[in-house]
């Protein structure tokens, strides 16, 4: 995603440089006000629609890979009670089944924590806030067995970087 943002930035800087050079080259020409205004309004209209189209395309391209949680009915879900405290996660279960919905009930004992669920390559799958005095519910279905990581996403103190836990997701047919 950062590579795409880099290329978009380079292209936009290049376009801005071209506009600057065009203004510099045409700055010494004489023209009537009506001619200049007509061309400027025409260009502004085209630029407006180009910006709208670019915004829609960029928004769509960046939202497609965005992690979305899979929601299911709470009745058939595996329930995991999660409590965050400085600087650890307490999980009521550390082994889950793939293909079956999981309901994480997330709370905090002390300060706000960000409950981030990551796959083996540390790509975020889902997230929710852990807040003192409140339980947030996150529903997610693990499609693949493996080891998943829970990291704190909100700075919570000196040992924030060490606030992590691991979940093991077993194949759906394994007992």
pLDDT for 23 equals 87
pLDDT for 68 equals 55
Q: Three-state DSSP class for 95?
A: strand
Q: What number of other Cβ atoms are within 10 A of residue 149's Cβ?
A: 17
Give the pLDDT band of residue 138 (cuts 50, 70, 90): very high
Spell out the domain ranges in the chain.
2-63, 74-170
Cα(43)–Cα(63) distance, integer angstroms: 30
**How do residues 44-102 score in pLDDT, each as one tens digit?**
999 999 999 999 998 888 877 665 555 544 568 899 999 999 889 999 999 999 999 99
Mean of pLDDT values over 118-124: 93
Could you identify the residue written with the tokens 């061309």?
Answer: 39
Cβ(63)–Cβ(135) under 8 Å?
no
Determine if the pTM surpasses 0.75.
Answer: no
Mean of pLDDT values over 10-34: 90
pLDDT for 75 equals 63
Mean of pLDDT values over 94-119: 93
- 74-170 carries CATH number 3.40.710.10: no
Q: Give the CB-side neighbour count of residue 155, counting CA atoms within 13 A.
A: 2
Instruction: Please name which of 132, 62, 144 lies closest in space to residue 98, comparing C-alpha atoms.
Output: 144
Whether residue 166 is predicted with pLDDT greater than 80 in this model: the reply is: yes
Q: Which two tokens stand for residue 82?
A: 């999660």
Instruction: Please name which of 147, 162, 146 lies closest in space to residue 113, comparing C-alpha atoms.
Output: 162
Computed over every residue of the chain, the mean pLDDT equals 89
- Average the pLDDT over each of 17-31, 90-104, 114-128 and give the range with the smallest value: 17-31
Instruction: Please name which of 167, 41, 53, 73 lies closest in space to residue 116, comparing C-alpha atoms.
Output: 167
8-state DSSP, 155 = -
């Amino acid at each position: 995603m950062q590579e795409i943002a880099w290329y978009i930035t380079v292209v936009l800087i290049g376009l801005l440089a071209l506009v600057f050079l065009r203004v510099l080259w045409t700055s010494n020409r004489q023209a009537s006000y009506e001619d200049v205004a007509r061309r400027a309004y025409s260009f502004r209209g085209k630029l407006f629609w180009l910006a709208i189209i670019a915004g829609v395309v960029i928004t769509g391209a960046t939202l497609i890979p965005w992690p979305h949680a899979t929601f299911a009915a709470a009745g058939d879900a595996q329930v995991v009670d999660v409590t965050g405290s400085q600087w650890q996660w307490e999980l009521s279960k550390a082994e889950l089944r793939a293909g079956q919905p999981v309901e994480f009930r997330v709370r905090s004992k002390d300060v706000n924590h960000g409950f981030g669920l990551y796959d083996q390559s540390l790509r975020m799958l889902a997230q929710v806030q852990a807040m003192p005095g409140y339980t947030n519910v996150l529903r997610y279905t693990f499609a693949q067995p493996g080891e998943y990581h829970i990291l704190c996403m909100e700075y919570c103190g000196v040992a924030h970087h060490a606030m992590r836990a691991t979940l093991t997701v077993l194949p759906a047919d394994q007992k």
